[in-house]
Amino acid sequence: MTASRLDGRLCASAVENSLKVEVQNCMDSGVNPHLAVVIVGDDPASHVYVNNKVKACERLGIISTHISLPSNTTESELVTEIERLNADASIHGILIQSPLPKHMDEEGITDLISPSKDVDGFHPVNLGRLVQGRTDGMLPCTPAGVIEMLKWANIETEGKNAVILGRSRIVGMPMSLLLAAKGCDSTVTITHSRTQNLAEVCKQADILVAAVGIPELVKKDWVKQGAVVVDVGINRVEDLSIERGWRLTGDVDPDVAEVASWLSPVPGGVGPMTIAMLMINTINAAKSTI
Ligand code: NAD
């Protein structure tokens, strides 16, 4: 078997096309969706991610304000900036690019964003709603993007065994909640760094989502014939055979394509979907003010 490509670029472009009319509807009602993206420091990968988000806004006609603060910004200066953005009625979404410098409490900062502007979906109010099974609010973008990709490819989730590698607040845990929620109805197993016999647990999966951050951890013999495999990982590994000296790879060994029915590529899989879901959250936040 050679896995079909779970193509996040194609799916994200379909999502974006459907969003253009939503943006127009907002504008017709006198509201121009507006996203503020705050980045602190000079991590090159983070700047690439922020630029991709700003470009997606441009494609859709969403206003974006890009606020770049130096790495020696104090936490209280960042708090002041968030309070200003919370109070600005023309701004509908606030995104603080992760990671923040080590001297800042990232979770504490997330708590300060107004839940109605929390387009990342990480505020305790929004995550708490998800725990309650309420999937109609601001959902964390990466796991919501995975669900959208599965729907786009007509992949059945009801009654399937889903195994999630990773239990982070950003990906693994909300991914598990979304797959278990009414509507997806999967039977979910959450695995993590202390899980024993990980390969055997993975082998039970009809749907396997890897969000660990270890290059090519998931091997071909961990995967059941015909399983759907979603690779969330983005890892930079040395590759001296190419000029820049590094390449991106996921958490899944590419040989898994020999046994899986579907496999998402890295890059070009979950990454573009994360941005598409951010656009949905921003537009929904704008719509809620009309
Ligand atoms: P994280 O470091 O917060 O969490 C990693 C999780 O993996 C932890 O829960 C940990 O318990 C688990 N883990 C660690 N070692 C393990 C092992 N040997 N076996 C099983 N589980 C193990 O990372 P994160 O923020 O959840 O991100 C995970 C990966 O996804 C990273 O590569 C990150 O770059 C990527 N990511 C991609 C997107 C995207 O848009 N595609 C978005 C967010 C994160």
Distance 152 CA to ligand 1 centre (A): 24
**Spatial contact of 34 and 26, defined as CB atoms under 8 Å apart:** no
CA-proximal residue: ligand 1, atom 40 (nearest): 271
The pLDDT value given to residue 161: 98
Bridge partners, 232 (sequence order): none
- What is the per-residue pLDDT for 1? 76
Give residue 193 CA to ligand 1 midpoint distance, Å. 10
* Ligand 1 pocket mutation pick from 232, 235, 281 by most atoms within 8 angstroms of CB: 232
The residue to mutate among 234, 235, 277, having the most atoms of ligand 1 within 8 angstroms of its beta carbon, is 234
Nearest ligand 1 atom, CA 172: 26
* Ligand 1 binding residues, C-beta < 6 A: 142, 165-168, 170-172, 191-193, 195, 198, 211-214, 232-235, 270-271, 274
The CATH-assigned architecture of domain 30-114 is 3-Layer(aba) Sandwich (3.40)
For ligand 1, atom 15, the nearest C-alpha belongs to 193
Q: Read out DSSP for the chain?
A: --PEE--HHHHHHHHHHHHHHHHHHHHHTT---EEEEEEES--HHHHHHHHHHHHHHHHHT-EEEEEEE-TT--HHHHHHHHHHHHH-TT--EEEEPSPPPTTS-HHHHHHHS-GGGBTT--SHHHHHHHHTT--SS---HHHHHHHHHHHHTT---TT-EEEEE---TTTHHHHHHHHHSTTT--EEEEE-TT-SSHHHHHHT-SEEEE-S--TT-B-GGGS-TT-EEEE---EEEE-TTSTTSEEEE-SB-GGGGGT-SEE--SSSSHHHHHHHHHHHHHHHHHHTT-
Where along the chain do its domains lie? 30-114, 141-271
- How many angstroms separate the alpha carbon of residue 125 from the centre of ligand 1? 23
CA 53 to ligand 1 center in whole angstroms: 21
Give the model confidence (pLDDT) of 229-276 as tens digits: 999 999 999 999 999 999 999 999 999 999 999 999 999 999 999 999
Write the pLDDT tens digit of every residue in 104-140: 999 999 999 999 999 999 999 999 999 999 999 999 9
Question: What's the CA-to-centroid distance between 232 and ligand 1, angstroms?
Answer: 8
In contact, 283 and 23? CB cutoff 8 Å = yes
Give nearest CA residue, ligand 1 atom 8. Answer: 166
Question: For the chain, which ranges sit under pLDDT 50?
Answer: none
Domain 141-271 has CATH 3.40.50.720: yes
Are 30-114 and 141-271 equal in CATH topology?
yes
